[in-house]
Amino acid sequence: MKITGGEPLLEKRLVLGLLGACRRLGLYAGLESNGTLLSPKVVEQLKRLGLKELGISLDFPDPALHDEFRGQTGVFRAAVDAVRSASRIKLNVSVVTSVFATNLPYLRRHAEFTLTEIPAPNMKVAGVVGLGRAREMNGGLLGPREYLEMATILRELGRLFPDRIAVGLPWSLVNPMDDPGLSFGSCHADGTMGILPDGGVSLCGLGVSRPEAVVGNVLTRDPLAIWRDAELFVYLRTRWGQEFSGVCGACIFHRYCANVCPAYAFEVYGSFSAPFPPCQHLFEEGLFPEYCLLDSPGGA
């Protein structure tokens, strides 16, 4: 179970209750936070309740820049202090950095600050996807050339900090064979059920911006029945990944990075089998790595 938000610790009692339930059921539980409410006491509570993974958002290596972007003074210091508190008590903690046009130029310095000065044990880096409020974010989404720049920077950082940076990027741009110093994940949409604030069920948080992707509500129906019977989840478990369109349908890595974020593909193209939008944009601009193409893909 991953508990995220918004800032989940605004509902601290609920979060602690969920973690207690996870511990009783033997579930692996992770929490994502901006760090502002993670006092040393709260961090210790989270560990006692069996939290397995804590991600703390930090987007800039500079207090003024980070606080300005987050719209609140003191957010940078709170996040750094929270990472240090978690590290002291050996709680598995990572700095989570979402990359957009405004903070991309700081990525090298940010990684060096995060991994050598805080120091955080690990960091996770991914480009911001245009879902929900991020569609209008003041930092600006990455364009195709900026995705290539981010991939180049991460390759360099992987050599400087081997096995300490996890990336959420298309395997066409960074992959374990070419960049062994980085850690790689993939979207587990075929094993994911997102529960929204009102009890609605969708893939991740997609249903907030796309109500048509909500397939039930846990307040009125057994969640296991929704998981078993809803057409969305049946599709993701049985056919997703077998019929990608656009460039993902022709990429040699499509079975591994699995269109990276199917919720984003649905947001842009209205289909979970559509290509990852940044990859499609790279292809349309002639920037997608040719060696990754099995054949010539069609449009999205």
> CA 293 from chain center: how many Å?
26
Q: How many residues does the chain have?
A: 300
Residues in Cβ contact with 116 at an 8 Å cutoff, skipping those fewer than 6 apart: none
How many folded domains does the chain comprise?
A: 2
Rounded mean pLDDT, 202-212: 91
**Pair 245, 273: CB distance under 8 Å:** yes
**Cis check: omega of the bond before 119, within 30 degrees of 0:** yes
Structure tokens at 13: 């009692």
Element (H, E) at 18: helix 12-25
Q: Of 42, 37, 34, 104, nearest to 71 (Cα)?
A: 34
Helix (H) or strand (E) holding 157: helix 144-160
Asked whether residue 225 carries a pLDDT value surpassing 60, the answer given is: yes
Could you tell me if 17 and 131 lie in one domain? Answer: yes
In-domain check, residue 176: no
Asked if residue 221 and residue 96 are part of one domain, the reply reads no
Which pLDDT band, with edges at 50, 70 and 90, does 140 fall under? confident
List of residues 6+ apart from 8 with CB closer than 8 A? 14, 15, 31, 32, 33
Judge whether 168 lies within some domain: no
b/e map 35-52, b = 16+ CB within 10 Å: bbebeeebbeebbebebb
10 and 135, same domain (yes or no):
yes
Q: Quick one: average pLDDT of 125-145?
A: 80
Q: What's the pLDDT at 131?
A: 75
Retrieve residue 187's tokens.
């979207």
Which residue, of 117, 142, 167, is where some domain finishes? 142
Decide if 299 is inside a domain.
Answer: no
Q: CA-to-CA distance for 244 and 258, rounded, in angstroms? A: 9
Q: Which domain holds residue 60?
A: 2-142
- Kindly state whether residue 162 falls inside one of the protein's structural domains: no
Say which residue, 38 or 130, is predicted with more confidence: 38
| Residue position matching structure tokens 């719209």 | 71
**Distance of alpha carbon 10 from the chain centroid:** 20
- In a shared domain, residues 90 and 209: no
Examine residue 211 and state whether it is found in any structural domain, yes or no. yes
163 assigned to some structural domain: no
User: How far is it, in rounded angstroms, from Cα 33 to Cα 4?
Assistant: 7
Question: Looking at the domain assignment, is residue 169 inside a domain?
Answer: no
Residue range 71-129, pLDDT digits in tens:
999 999 999 999 999 999 999 999 999 999 999 999 999 999 999 999 999 999 999 98
Strands (DSSP E) contained in the chain are 2-3, 30-33, 53-57, 93-99, 122-127, 165-168, 183-184, 194-195, 200-202, 216-217
CA distance 76 to 79: 5
More confident residue, 5 or 263: 263
For 49-79, write each residue's pLDDT tens digit.
Answer: 999 999 999 999 999 999 999 999 999 999 9
